[in-house]
C-alpha cells in the first residue's frame, strides 16, 4: 500500500485532498498516511511470521509522537539512539521493556535514564562502552541487559554515508573479536547480562544479497554465543530499502519491472521468504529495526512554488521548502519524485532544477529533471519523505520547522504545529 494517488485530478493522501491541507496549514508541510504506516508494519510482521520475532521501529526515521503512538498501538517495540528518543517513546505510550538502545556514543545520563526505565537491551558498540555500562549499572545497583553489535565486514552496496557494516565504519565490534569479548565480559563484568547479538549493515538496501550474506556469515557465531552464553535474541537490524523513483502507485510497479533480469526486487515478501528459513531453527527471538521501510513512502513534503527564474544555462523553480526541511538530496544525492498536487492535463515536460531559498548551492531537490511545468503559486509534493525528512530538519537560515499532519482515512490531524518566530529564539539570551 502506498496511500498517495490522484483522485478527480487532485493528489490525495488516502481520502484527504492535499490541496486542502496545503491551503489550511500552509507550506512547507509534511503529511503522513497513517494507513500506509500500519500496512507496512503489518506486512513486515506477516512476512516474518514463520519465526519468533519482534519489530523494533527505528525511531530516528520519524519520531513524531503521533507516528510513535500509531506503532505502539500495533505492538511495535522501538529502537532508540538517544535519551531524547526514549523520552518520546515513553510520551507516546511505548513500552520501555520493548526498547533497544543503539549508538556508538551513549552518555552517562542516557545510560542512567535507560536503566531506570528498564529497557530491553543496550546494543553496545565497543568493549569500552560495555565496561562503562557495567560500571554505571553497578553504581545504580542493577544489572544492564546488553547485546554487542557485530560488524560483519559486509558491503551493503548503498550510499557511503549510510553504509555501516564494513570494517572501516565506526560501527560495532569486529566479527573476529566477538567470541573473546563475550568470554571476557562473562568473567569480568558482573553487572552485564549479555542477552543477545545485534548487527545492522546499512540503510536503503535495494538488494537481498547483502542481507543473506550477513545472516549466513553471522549464523555460526550466533549459535556459538547461544550455546556458551545463553543469548536469547539476534537483532538483524534495519536497512530494508524502498522505491524512491516513480513513487506513485502505477509507477512503482513499472520501476521494479525495469530491473535487469536476475536482479529481483527487494520486496518485503522476498525479504521474509529468503531470511525466515535461514533464521527459524536457531531457537532465538529475531529482532528487526526497520525505519525507512515503515515510514518512508508514507510521507510527503508539500511545498509551494514561489518563483520561476530562467537563466542562460538553466531554468530554476524556486520553492518554499529548503534543504533545512529535507536534507536528503543535498546529503546523500537522494532522489525524491516531485509531483504537482493538481494533476497535469498533458504529458508535456520542462527540464528544470527545483531549488529552495537557502543560501547554498546544495539547496536543491532535483537538477536537470524533466517535470510538468508547474508555476509560481502551484504546490508540489516531494514524495517518499516520511523517513529522515522532518527528523533531520533544522532551523538553518533561521527558518521555522514545518508543520506535520497525520491522515487516517478521510480525516486529517495537525500533529505538530508550525514553529513560530518566538519558538525559534526560545532559550537564547
Ligand atoms: N538500526 C540501526 C542501528 C541504524 O543505525 C539504523 C539507521 C536503523 C536501524 C534503521 O535503518 P533503516 O531501516 O531506516 O534503513 N538519514 C539517512 C539514513 C540513515 C540511517 C541511519 N541508521 C537517509 O536519509 O538515507
Domain CATH for 140: 3.20.20.10
pLDDT at 247: 67
- Report d(CA 122, CA 132) in Å as an integer: 12
Whether 429 is in a domain gets the answer no
| Residue with CA nearest ligand 1 atom 19 | 162
CA–centroid distance, 58 to ligand 1, in Å, is 7
- Report d(CA 54, CA 372) in Å as an integer: 43
pLDDT digits (tens, 9 = 90+) for 235-260: 999 999 999 987 665 444 444 445 55
- Report d(CA 225, CA 174) in Å as an integer: 15
Residue 95 sits in the same domain as residue 11: no
Q: Would the pLDDT of 155 be above 90?
A: no
Q: Which of 172, 203, 294 to mutate to test the pocket of ligand 1 (most atoms within 8 A of CB)?
A: 203
Whether 174 is in a domain gets the answer yes
Residue 115 sits in the same domain as residue 168: yes
CA dihedral (200, 256, 14, 399) positive or negative: positive
Q: Would the pLDDT of 100 be above 50?
A: yes
Residue 175 sits in the same domain as residue 271: yes
| Residue with CA nearest ligand 1 atom 23 | 388
> Total domain count for the chain?
2
Residue 137 sits in the same domain as residue 204: yes
CA–centroid distance, 425 to ligand 1, in Å, is 30
326 within 8 A of 343, measured Cβ to Cβ: no
pLDDT at 158: 79
Averaged pLDDT, 117-137: 98
Nearest residue to 150 (alpha-carbon basis) of 121, 128, 181, 115: 181
CA–centroid distance, 165 to ligand 1, in Å, is 12
- Report d(CA 30, CA 28) in Å as an integer: 7
Averaged pLDDT, 264-289: 94
| Residue with CA nearest ligand 1 atom 22 | 203
- Report d(CA 57, CA 40) in Å as an integer: 11
pLDDT at 248: 65
| Residue with CA nearest ligand 1 atom 7 | 203
pLDDT at 11: 98
Residue 241 sits in the same domain as residue 357: no
Question: What percent of the chain is modeled with pLDDT above 70?
Answer: 95
- Neighbouring-strand partners of residue 58: 79
Residue 170 sits in the same domain as residue 140: yes
pLDDT at 258: 52
Residue 353 sits in the same domain as residue 267: no
pLDDT at 251: 45
What is the position in ligand 1's atom list of the atom closest to the CA of 293?
A: 13
Nearest residue to 278 (alpha-carbon basis) of 239, 230, 234: 234
pLDDT at 413: 98
Residue 102 sits in the same domain as residue 169: yes
Averaged pLDDT, 300-329: 97
Question: What is the CB neighbour count within 10 angstroms for residue 227?
Answer: 9
Residue 296 CA from chain centroid, whole number: 7
Residues with CB under 6 Å of ligand 1 are 58, 61, 79, 102, 162, 200, 203-204, 237-240, 289-293, 328, 332, 387-388
What is the position in ligand 1's atom list of the atom closest to the CA of 328?
A: 24
Confidence of residue 263 (pLDDT cuts 50, 70, 90): low
| Reduced 3-state DSSP string for 102-144 | CCCCCCHHHHHHHHHHCCCEEEECCHHHHHHHHHHHHHHCCCE
As a residue count, the chain comes to 429
Residue that has been written with the C-alpha cell 557495567 in this structure: 134
Q: Would the pLDDT of 271 be above 80?
A: yes
- Domain end residue (candidates: 238, 262, 293): 293
What is the position in ligand 1's atom list of the atom closest to the CA of 149?
A: 3
289 within 8 A of 233, measured Cβ to Cβ: no
Averaged pLDDT, 219-230: 98
Q: Tell me which H or E stretch contains 414.
A: strand 411-416
Question: What is the CB neighbour count within 10 angstroms for residue 342?
Answer: 16
- Report d(CA 374, CA 304) in Å as an integer: 10
Average pLDDT, the chain: 94
CA–centroid distance, 351 to ligand 1, in Å, is 32
Q: Which of 196, 211, 238, 286 to mutate to test the pocket of ligand 1 (most atoms within 8 A of CB)?
A: 238
- Report d(CA 408, CA 272) in Å as an integer: 27
CA 366 vs CA 63, 108, 335: distances in Å: 26, 42, 7
pLDDT at 254: 47
Instruction: Classify 404 as helix, strand or coil.
Output: strand
C-alpha angle with apex 379: 386 to 317, nearest 5 degrees? 100
pLDDT at 272: 97
What is the position in ligand 1's atom list of the atom closest to the CA of 198?
A: 3
Residue 265 sits in the same domain as residue 408: no
- Domain end residue (candidates: 293, 314, 338): 293
pLDDT at 262: 53
pLDDT at 351: 97
Residues contacting residue 423 through CB under 8 Å, at least 6 positions apart: 400
Domain carrying residue 43: 34-293
pLDDT at 94: 98
The one-character DSSP state at 194 is E
What is the position in ligand 1's atom list of the atom closest to the CA of 391?
A: 16
CA–centroid distance, 202 to ligand 1, in Å, is 7
Please give the positions annotated as active site: 359
CA–centroid distance, 167 to ligand 1, in Å, is 18
- Domain end residue (candidates: 293, 323, 340): 293
Amino acid at each position: 500500500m502506498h496511500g498517495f494517488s490522484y483522485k478527480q485530478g487532485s493528489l490525495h493522501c488516502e481520502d484527504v485532498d492535499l490541496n486542502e491541507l496545503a491551503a489550511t496549514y500552509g507550506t512547507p508541510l509534511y503529511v503522513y498516511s497513517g494507513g500506509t504506516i500500519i500496512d507496512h508494519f503489518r506486512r513486515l510482521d506477516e512476512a516474518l511470521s514463520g519465526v519468533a520475532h519482534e519489530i523494533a521501529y527505528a525511531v530516528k526515521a520519524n519520531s513524531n509522537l503521533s507516528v510513535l503512538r500509531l506503532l505502539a498501538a500495533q505492538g511495535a517495540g522501538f529502537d532508540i539512539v538517544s535519551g531524547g528518543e526514549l523520552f518520546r517513546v515513553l510520551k507516546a505510550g511505548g513500552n520501555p521493556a520493548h526498547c533497544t538502545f543503539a549508538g556508538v556514543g551513549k552518555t552517562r545520563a542516557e545510560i542512567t535514564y535507560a536503566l531506570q526505565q528498564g529497557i530491553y537491551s543496550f546494543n553496545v558498540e565497543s568493549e569500552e562502552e560495555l565496561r562503562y555500562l557495567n560500571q554505571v549499572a553497578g553504581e545504580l545497583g542493577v544489572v544492564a541487559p546488553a547485546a554487542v553489535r557485530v560488524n560483519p565486514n559486509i558491503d551493503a552496496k548503498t550510499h557511503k554515508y549510510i553504509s555501516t557494516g564494513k570494517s572501516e565504519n565506526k560501527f560495532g565490534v569486529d566479527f573476529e573479536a566477538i567470541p573473546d569479548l563475550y568470554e571476557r565480559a562473562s568473567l569480568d563484568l558482573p553487572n552485564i547480562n549479555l542477552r543477545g547479538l545485534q548487527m545492522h549493515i546499512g540503510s536503503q538496501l535495494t538488494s537481498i544479497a547483502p542481507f543473506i550474506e550477513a545472516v549466513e556469515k553471522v549464523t555460526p557465531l550466533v549459535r556459538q554465543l547461544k550455546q556458551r552464553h545463553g543469548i536469547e535474541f539476534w537483532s538483524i537490524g534495519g536497512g530494508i530499502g524502498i522505491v524512491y523513483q516513480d513513487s506513485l502507485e502505477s509507477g512503482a510497479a513499472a520501476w521494479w519491472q525495469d530491473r535487469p533480469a536476475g536482479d529481483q526486487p527487494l520486496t518485503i515478501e522476498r525479504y521474509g521468504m529468503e531470511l525466515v528459513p535461514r533464521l527459524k531453527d536457531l531457537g532465538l527471538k529475531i529482532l528487526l529495526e526497520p525505519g525507512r521501510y515503515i515510514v518512508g513512502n508514507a510521507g510527503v513534503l508539500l511545498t509551494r512554488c514561489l518563483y520561476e527564474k530562467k537563466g542562460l544555462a538553466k531554468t530554476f523553480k524556486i520553492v518554499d521548502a529548503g534543504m533545512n526541511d529535507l536534507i536528503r538530496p543535498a546529503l546523500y544525492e537522494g532522489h525524491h519524485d516531485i509531483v504537482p498536487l493538481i494533476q497535469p492535463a498533458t504529458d508535456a515536460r520542462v527540464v528544470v532544477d527545483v531549488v529552495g531559498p537557502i543560501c547554498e548551492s546544495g539547496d536543491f531537490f532535483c537538477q536537470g529533471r524533466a517535470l510538468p511545468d508547474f508555476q509560481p503559486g502551484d504546490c508540489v509534493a516531494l514524495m517518499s519523505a516520511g523517513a529522515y525528512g522532518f527528523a533531520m530538519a533544522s532551523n538553518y537560515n533561521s527558518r521555522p520547522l514545518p508543520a506535520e499532519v497525520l491522515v487516517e482515512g478521510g480525516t486529517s490531524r495537525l500533529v505538530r504545529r508550525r514553529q513560530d518566530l518566538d519558538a525559534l529564539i526560545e532559550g537564547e539570551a
